[in-house]
Structure 1
Amino acid sequence: MRFAYWSRELAGWGLIAVGLWQFWNTYTLLTNRRIFEAGPSAFIAFIIFRGGLHLLKVAVAAQAARSLADPAQPHTRKASRMATRSVAPTPVKTVVPGPKSRAAAAAANGMAD
């Protein structure tokens, strides 16, 4: 597996070098006043250079992921949350729909006649 990391790293640096070389070719085309040939050359150089940067990012991410803890041994933390309480304005029993008699509603609310 170490070879996969180094191969991505080397391929990334190689693509960056090829991209920079292509940018140099674009510069020489522009100094020779070959503007129409320089446009596609600059686009190709940009794509190759960005591909090299992406491979380097992937290689560094793979190296960082290798140094993480083993997922077979889960790391658990103790939950430190405060106890919650209801902030509802009315109790649930009084919200239930349907007709009620005045005595039943008063008994449900805790009021006596």
Structure 2
Amino acid sequence: MTYWLREIGGWLLVLLGLYFFAQAFDFLLRKRVFEAGPTVVIGFVIFRGGIHILKVAVAAQAARKLPLAVAEARRRPRTPTKQVGPTANKAVVPGPQNPARRRDPLGTGGRA
């Protein structure tokens, strides 16, 4: 129940903050700059508070579901993992057995 109260309260504060922004915009349209400044600050604080309450509501819901997810993960069998370590010699693809010296196409004798 508290999740829904937080959710509804958060959305109400977000809407109230948007109302204050609209009120500040109306003040600016009527060239009342000094009244618009504090109204914007009030709207910003209320809007950010609503966003914060929404984040808390979602985090509380996730925390409430966490024990169920952990219990379900413990019930599932684990898939076997691949061994980590040095590669066995039989698994390595061999390179050329007798590396022949390459011919230098530029004729520099190996110098750059």
TM-score of Structure 1 vs Structure 2, range by shorter chain: 0.5 to 0.7
The AA in structure 2 aligned to 1:58 is V
- Three-state SS of the structure 2 residue aligned to 1:67 is helix
Please name the residue that 1:25 is paired with. Answer: 23
Q: Which residue among 62, 65, 71 is the counterpart of 1:64?
A: 62
Deviation, 1:33, is: 0.5
Identify the match of residue 49 of structure 2 among 37, 48, 51.
51
- Pairs within 5 Å for 1:1-113: 3-68=1-66, 69=68
Give the CA RMSD over aligned residues. 2.6
Shift of residue 70, structure 1, vs aligned partner? 8.2
Equivalents in 2 of 1:19, 1:30: separation in Å?
Answer: 17
Measure the CA separation in 2 of the matches of 1:35 and 1:29: 7
Gaps of 5+ in 2: 75-112
The letter of the residue matching 1:51 is G
Q: In structure 1, how many angstroms separate the alpha carbons of the residues matched to 2:24 and 2:38?
A: 9
Hey, which bits of structure 1, 4+ residues long, moved more than 6 A? none
With normalisation by structure 1, the TM-score equals: 0.60
Amino acid at match of 1:9: E
Deviations 1:33-74 (A, max 9, x none): 000000000000000000000000000000111110488xxx
